[in-house]
Chains A and B, each alone.
Chain A
Amino acid sequence: MLLSETTTTGFFQLVPWIVFFPAIGLLINTFMPLVMKALKREWGEPAVAITGVTASGLALVVSVLQFISLRAAHGHEQVVGVADWLNIGSFNIPWEFRVDTLSVTMMLVVSGVGTLIHLYSVGYMHYDVRYKGDPKSYARFFVYLNLFIAMMMILVSGNSYLMLFVGWEGVGLCSFLLIGFWYTKNPDATDGTKNSYAAKKAFIANRVGDFGFLMAMFITFWHFGTLSFSEIFPEVAHYSGPDGLIWWIAGFMLLGVTGKSAQIPLYVWLPDAMAGPTPVSALIHAATMVTAGVYLVARSAPVFNAVEGVHVLVALVGAATALFAATIAVGQYDIKKVLAYSTVSQLGFMVAAVGMGAYVAGMFHLVTHAFFKALLFLASGSVILAVERGHHPLEETGDAKHTGHDSHHDDHDAHHEVFDPQDMRNMGGLRKRIPWTFWTYMAGTLALAGIFPFAGFWSKDEILLDASHFEGTALVYIFLVIAAIFTAFYMGRQVWMVFFGEPRHHAAEEAKESPWTVLVPLVVLAVLSVLGGFMNWPFKEGLEPHAFGHWLDYTFAVSTGHEGHFPEFDFGVAIQSTILAVAAIIGSWLLYGRKPLKAGQTDPLAKALGPIFKGMNAKWWVDELYQAVILTPYEKLAKFLSQTIDWNFWHDWFHEKGIRDNFQRLARFLADPVDLGFIDRISHWLAQGAQGSGGWLSKLQTGYVRNYALAVFTGVVAILGYLILLR
């Protein structure tokens, strides 16, 4: 150790800066353009980029310092308070940061991957804003990214459920903002890819999950009197309250998890979320935010451990999602959609793992997945960028011209052929044109497919291993294994379709390799995808065994009260899964690699599977189902309530007709009974009865004085009658 104990512990006090640095970054990028504009200067792209990347990078530095300190402190958790927050009677939640191995792991992932993606975005967004015709949005993007980092940091470092929830909803907001980043795009899309619609969908689906989270918090608070991790977890183990209470807590948390980590039934938002710019997909919708659910379960390990039955439920949700999403991924043509469903599927793996109580395995997969899925998304972004640049080359120099280009671009979108740079059917043969991207993509693919010795192999293997031991139900293992096969297959399919064969479109033909800012992160992530698996070396020999597991166990052991046991590497499971993966890749080669797709050719799998493929392609019509079962009824209900009940009935009928009109009618009657014909009718009837002839009725005269006198007289008779006769 280079640093002395006292200095390193001092680093803990820096932990709030993991939030403050990105926050400062976003403030600078928000206000400097305005300030500079006032000064008649410009806050150009370099300034924006430097600010954004530095903010994120500093957060990474602080995270690393936390890591160092924590190592020095032998993994003992630290709680760093900043300020009071909510303080109501017995309810007291301060702004408090928690530094333990779990949170530091997440911090490193978030800030590490985050910084890389910031870097990537510097180059990527430079082109993207121009292709979308809105160069001014460059700063906005970095503001959002910084905001996301800040929120994610709050999420992973908070010392209470409430603070976690702040980050939880905060990242949801960022997700909303970033999905809707190109809010004017795809206005006419009906399949949910309408950008603003996708953004809303993400937020609302997340809110449903948040509702569960809230419920969980309420129960927790009213039974433990606090929401602070440090106070709840010791209590949970020897909790002796009403039966099922903890079950409810865990169950509601699971609802939150399904929202944030895109599990059945709330996963539908994540694929649509790919409408956001690619770095966003990589950072938020693959590497970090969506893993928050996994983090939540891992964080709440004591709660989940404290109750029977929840494990099975969580694991089954995870496993089912893993399988279900994997099948859908097979049927997609959009390069990012494939990765999106892959992400859902992989999140299913993680959720299944943490659900089974294999927290280390889940977290391990979370980390490696962050590497390789971020890599895949970024690389796919690089592919898209390359294709897009091939489609209509940009003048690299003159920014001024782009305004002119804008309208052209818009027109182009609107009137000419609809070119989708993300459609794999428009690609092919890109291997030679963008080699850097190709090789890094391959690293990611193999890692995801779980091929030895890539990172994915180790982490997925550990999950499968735990699943094979899982006592709850065998379904989990079966689902996960099948999902793994599908994973290998669809990744193989993707690689063959994108990189091999011949270009199926002139854009693919003229694709250009991306600039270095885009490529550097790819390379770094590729390296991590290759080597990342070694950090939890499962053998006693060689590297430090179960280093990652022991590291996390500082946290889990404290919180769950027992040391983690780390299963020995099982060659049976490993070999079995590897063979299956390889077989799946070969299968995909047979279908897509051997005879590459030609332009306009239908997918060979579609022919083979027929309706099943159609189902996969149509995402099993889940969106349509939700539309029919939830959204349409909701709208109908809203319409019914607002138009029929509230307005037509309550406002117009009840208040206007029922009360006001009748009231006025009565008033008119009282003021002028004769005019209304009421008394006329009676008089007519009386006249008929009394006189028998109505000839003289025509001579109409009114004698009000007598009427008035009669009224007085009636009063007299009535009052006297009452007093004398009735009383």
Chain B
Amino acid sequence: MDFILQPLNLVTFFPLVGVLILLFLKKEQKNAARWIAMVVSLATFGISLWVLAQFNAADPNLQMEVKAIWFSFGEWDIMYALGIDGMSILLVLLTTFLTPISILSTWTAVEDRVRDFMLFFLLLEIGMVGVFLAQDLFLFYVFWEFTLVPMYFLIGIWGGDQRMYAAIKFFLYTMAGSILMLLAILWLGNTQGTFYVPDLVAMGGIPDSIQTWLFFAFAAAFAIKVPMWPLHSWLPDAHVQAPTAGSVILAGVLLKMGTYGFLRFNIPLFPQAAKEWAWLMALLAVIGILYGALVSYWQKDVKKLVAYSSVSHLGFVMLGLFALNSTGIQGGILQMVNHGISTGALFLIIGMIYERRHTREFDEFGGLWKVMPVYAVLTLIVALSSMGLPGLNGFVGEFTILLGAWGAGQTPVLGSVLYAGFAAAGVILAAVYILYMFGKMFLGPLTNPKNETLKDLNLREIVTLVPLLVLIFWIGLYPKPFFDLMAPAVENLVAILGL
């Protein structure tokens, strides 16, 4: 019992309680399903706050570890090992935070098979939290792959017209990457004799040439998930077709699993390869930043625009991580959170208008500010956060990333400040497409008569957005607590790199 009540066990598996209760509901009990999911996810969030309270920010090591031998195979011990440190705690909090918000957003949007929806959603939460907490590669892989399944259904059942195509593409794409990672994991287990990540990191000693192979095998999985250019082709499909809550989680958390993977595994496990190939990663990241921004600009569908903007934003994160210095990595981590909040909020916002108008084409909108001022203002704030306006969260992340990348550009890691330079140009392009989006939707005259009777946001919708806005301002104005949480762990990581 003590084992089960470990904080990390609880935070990971508490949603299972909800799943079990939901199993016993009837199909017709829609509201009950909603409330159960809501309460359970809120409780999970509460538990994650409890974890935060127990977390010692000054300690760079794993904390609150839960460790047990799961099973042995040959000479391996495969561990059930969960642990949390500065690199993962924010992402765990982000996950538990976004889940109830997403659930709230589905209150009226999802009417079909509500129970199943909530069931998949809670399962997804388990998988996501598990990914961020798992400290054993095997366990990590289990959670990693497991997240595919509920998401597949969220897209496939409750998605748009092309949902089947999108769902299967999502599944196969991500799986394609992760199986290569599986091989690399096995290789590591074979040569190093353990899957326990801290041990693997401590051992080191993988020959450089092999590090490169392993690095790219892991990178294949993560880069597809992120998605890094040019592996992003699944993203617009998945995002556009997913239901709102699915998009929120997809953008908010699932993509972070990729960047987190780079951070947690690629960099510390293969430091040599990371240093050697940082330029390539940074290059792809920068291309992603510019490409995503340019492509976003030409979209006719709001959701697609935001989807492509994720390519751009995640490019920033990757650039920060592969600056391989404390500044860049911390910026990268924070930007993961920022992107989760901002893009999550954007998807919520798109969902709100979609629920009203059942379209997302720009041409259908225009001048919405007039009829939906509250909605417009909230959108504006989120959009500005997304384009990195100082004082809002996006800026803090992007600035520290660019600063870190610039610094890395002066060292052999990247070798050129042009990475940071071009990435910074992405800031301009971000303004272009964000303002394009905002302008198309809210500014100009209200020409479409269908929009004239639109209702402004109701209280539930505002409540859905407000927590995100609070964070947008909080991180933008006073990010210190966030940086403080991750700083020791990141310093530790940078020390491993030995730069």
Q: Which residues of A are at the interface with B, using a C-beta cutoff of 8 A? A: 83-89, 91, 134, 162, 165-166, 168-170, 173, 176, 180, 183-184, 187, 194-197, 199-200, 203-204, 207-208, 210-211, 214-215, 217-219, 221-222, 634-635, 637-639, 641-643, 646, 650-651, 654-655
Determine if B428 and A173 form an interchain contact, defined as CB atoms under 8 angstroms apart: no
Please tell me if B294 contacts chain A, counting CB pairs below 8 Å.
yes
Report which of A169, A207, A638 forms a contact with B428, defined as CB distance below 8 A: A207
The one of A88, A194, A639 that contacts B487, using a Cβ cutoff of 8 Å = A88
A204 touches B432 (CB 8 A): yes
Q: Does B445 contact A (CB under 8 A)?
A: yes
The reply to whether B443 and A162 contact each other, CB–CB distance below 8 Å, is no
Given A173-B384, A200-B439, A651-B236, does the pair A87, B407 have CB atoms closer than 8 Å? no
Per a CB cutoff under 8 Å, which of B298, B406, B431 touches A204? B431
**Inter-chain contacts of B439 with A (CB < 8 A):** 196-197, 199-200
Contacts of A86 in B (CB 8 A): 396, 399-400, 479-480, 483
Contacts of B436 in A (CB 8 A): 200
12 example contacts (A-B, Cβ-Cβ < 8 A) are as follows: A83-B478, A86-B483, A87-B483, A166-B390, A169-B395, A183-B367, A184-B446, A194-B444, A199-B435, A204-B431, A642-B294, A651-B237
Count of A-B contacts judged by CB separation below 8 Å: 150
List of A residues within 8 angstroms of B296 by Cβ: 642
Contact A642 B444, beta carbon cutoff 8 Å: no
CA distance A85 to B399 in the complex (A): 13
A187 to B446, CA, bound (A): 10
A204 to B430, CA, bound (A): 9
User: Are A187 and B295 in contact, with the CB atoms below 8 A?
Assistant: no
B169, B444, B477, B480, most chain A CB atoms within 10 A: B444
Residues A169 and B390 in contact, CB atoms below 8 Å apart: yes
A89, B443: Cβ atoms under 8 Å?
no
The one of A91, A194, A639 that contacts B400, using a Cβ cutoff of 8 Å: A91
Pair A88/B298 contact, Cβ less than 8 Å: no
Asked whether A642 and B298 contact (CB < 8 A) given A196-B443, A196-B444, the answer is yes
- Residues on B with C-beta less than 8 A from A219 are 406
Contact between chains at B444 and A187 (CB < 8 Å): yes
Chain A positions within 8 Å of B233 at CB level: 646, 650-651, 654-655
Closest Cβ neighbor of A209 among chain B residues: B428
Chain B residues with CB under 8 Å of A655's CB are 169, 233
Contact B367 A215 (CB under 8 A): no
Nearest-CB residue, chain B, relative to A83: B478
Closest to A248 in B: B417
Query: In this complex, what residue of B is CB-closest to A201?
Result: B435
Q: Are B420 and A85 in contact (CB under 8 A)?
A: no
Task: Assess whether B403 is in contact with A91, with CB atoms less than 8 Å apart.
Answer: yes
Instruction: Report how far A549 CA is from B381 CA in the complex, Å.
Output: 42
B113 located at the interface, meaning its Cβ lies under 8 Å from any Cβ of chain A in the complex = no
Q: Which of B265-317 contact A (CB under 8 A)?
A: 291, 294-299, 308
Are B443's CB and A638's CB within 8 A?
A: no
Kindly list the 6 A-B residue pairs having the minimum CB-CB distance in the complex, ordered from nearest.
A196-B443, A218-B406, A642-B298, A183-B443, A166-B390, A642-B295
Asked, given contacts A162-B399, A641-B298, whether A88 binds B331 with beta carbons under 8 Å apart, the answer is yes
B82 touches A (CB below 8 Å): no
With A200-B439, A204-B431, A222-B407 already in contact, the answer to whether A88 and B400 are too (CB < 8 A) is: yes
Asked whether B327 is an interface residue with its Cβ less than 8 Å from the other chain, the reply is: yes
Task: Tell me, rounded to whole Å, the shortest Cβ–Cβ distance linking A340 to chain B.
Answer: 21
- Listed residue (B417, B443, B483, B484) with the most chain A CB atoms within 10 angstroms of its CB: B443
Given contacts A87-B483, A87-B484, contact A183 B327 (CB under 8 A): no
Interface centre among A86, A87, A168, A643 (most CB of B within 10 A): A86
- Chain A CB within 8 A of B230 CB: yes
Chain B residues contacting A214 (CB-CB under 8 Å) are: 399, 402, 424, 427
- The answer to whether B59 has its CB under 8 Å from any CB of chain A is no
Does B343 belong to the interface (CB within 8 Å)?
A: no
Q: How far is the CA of A180 from the CA of B230 in the complex (A)?
A: 37
Q: Given A87-B480, A169-B389, A203-B431, do A218 and B403 touch, yes or no (CB 8 Å)?
A: yes
- Contact assessment for A211 and B327 in the assembled complex, using a CB-CB cutoff below 8 Å: no
Q: A164 to B432: give the CA distance in the assembly, Å.
A: 23
A203 and B435 form a contact (CB under 8 A): yes
Residues A638 and B295 in contact, CB atoms below 8 Å apart: yes
B483 shortest CB reach to chain A, Å: 6
Among B298, B446, B478, contact of A638 (Cβ-Cβ < 8 Å): B298
Check A187–B445 contact: CB distance below 8 A: yes
B230 and A89 contact, CB distance less than 8 A: no
B190 interfacial contact with A, CB 8 Å: no
Q: Is the CB of B402 within 8 A of A641?
A: no
Could you mark each residue 215-236 of chain B with 1 if its beta carbon is under 8 Å from any beta carbon of chain A, else 0?
A: 0000000000000001001001
CA distance A642 to B484 in the complex (A): 40
Residues of A within 8 A of B391 (CB): 166, 169-170
> Digit string of B43-59 for contact with A (CB within 8 Å is 1, else 0)?
00000000000000000
Chain A residues, CB < 8 A from B444: 183-184, 187, 194, 196
CB distance from A265 to the nearest CB of B (A): 14
A residues less than 8 Å from B407 (CB atoms): 221-222
| Interface-centre pick from B395, B402, B424 (highest chain A CB count, 10 A) | B424
What is the 8 Å Cβ interface bit string for chain B, positions 70-91, against chain A (1 contact, 0 not)?
A: 0000000000000000000000
Contact partners of A176 in chain B: CB under 8 A: 435
Taken together as a complex, chains A and B put the C-alpha atoms of A651 and B298 apart, in Å, by 15
Chain B residues with Cβ under 8 A from A194's Cβ? 444
B431 touches A641 (CB 8 A): no
Residues on B with C-beta less than 8 A from A641 are: 291, 294-295, 298
Question: In the complex, what's the smallest C-beta–C-beta distance from B340 to chain A, in angstroms?
Answer: 20
A87 to B367, CA, bound (A): 41
B-chain residues with CB within 8 Å of residue A203 when the two chains form the complex: 431, 435
Q: Is B442 an interface residue (CB 8 A)?
A: yes
Least Cβ–Cβ distance between B41 and chain A, in angstroms: 29
Contact between chains at B445 and A650 (CB < 8 Å): no
In the bound complex, residues from chain A placing their C-beta under 8 Å from that of B389 are 169-170, 173
In contact, B299 and A642 (Cβ under 8 angstroms): yes
Question: What is the CA–CA distance of A203 and B403 in the complex, to the nearest angstrom?
Answer: 23
Determine the residue in chain A with the shortest Cβ distance to B299. A642
The answer for the CA separation of A639 and B300 in the assembled complex, in Å, is: 11
Measured between beta carbons, the chain B residues less than 8 angstroms from A168 are 390
Which of B326, B410, B479 makes the CB contact (< 8 A) with A89? B326
Question: Beyond A89-B330, A635-B297: 19 further Cβ-contacts under 8 Å?
Answer: A89-B491, A162-B399, A166-B391, A170-B391, A173-B389, A183-B442, A203-B431, A204-B431, A210-B427, A211-B424, A211-B425, A217-B403, A218-B406, A218-B420, A222-B410, A638-B298, A642-B298, A642-B299, A643-B298
Is B370 close to A, CB under 8 A?
A: yes
Residue of B at shortest CB range from A219?
B406
Q: What residue of chain B has the Cβ atom nearest to residue A163's Cβ?
A: B390
With A87-B484, A170-B389 given, is the CB distance from A646 to B295 under 8 Å? yes
Q: A638-B295, A655-B233 are in contact. Are A222 and B406 (CB under 8 A)?
A: yes
List which B192-243 residues lie within 8 A (CB) of chain A: 230, 233, 236-237
| Pairwise interchain contact B294-A638, C-beta atoms closer than 8 A | yes
**A556–B264 alpha-carbon span in the complex (Å):** 49
Q: Which residue of B lies closest to A197 (CB)?
A: B439
Contact B327 A184 (CB under 8 A): no
Q: Judge whether A89 and B236 touch: CB under 8 Å.
A: no
**Whole-angstrom distance from the CB of A187 to the nearest CB of chain B?**
5
Using Cβ atoms and an 8 Å threshold, which residues of chain B touch A200?
A: 435-436, 439
> Chain A: which residue is nearest B433 at the CB level?
A638
Nearest B residue (CB) for A154: B391
Q: In the bound complex, do residue B478 and residue A85 qualify as a contact, i.e. CB atoms below 8 Å apart?
A: yes
Asked if A211 contacts B298 (CB within 8 A), the reply is no
Which residues on the B side are within 8 Å of A184 (C-beta)?
367, 370, 443-446
* Min CB–CB distance B226 → chain A (angstroms): 16
Complex Cα gap A50–B432 (Å): 37
Chain B, residues 484-497, CB within 8 Å of chain A (1/0): the string is 10010001000000
Across the interface, do B427 and A218 meet the contact criterion of CB distance under 8 Å?
A: no
Which of B431, B479, B487 has the most chain A CB atoms inside 10 A of its CB? B431
Which of chain A's residues has its CB closest to B439's CB?
A196
Which residues of A have CB within 8 Å of B396? 86
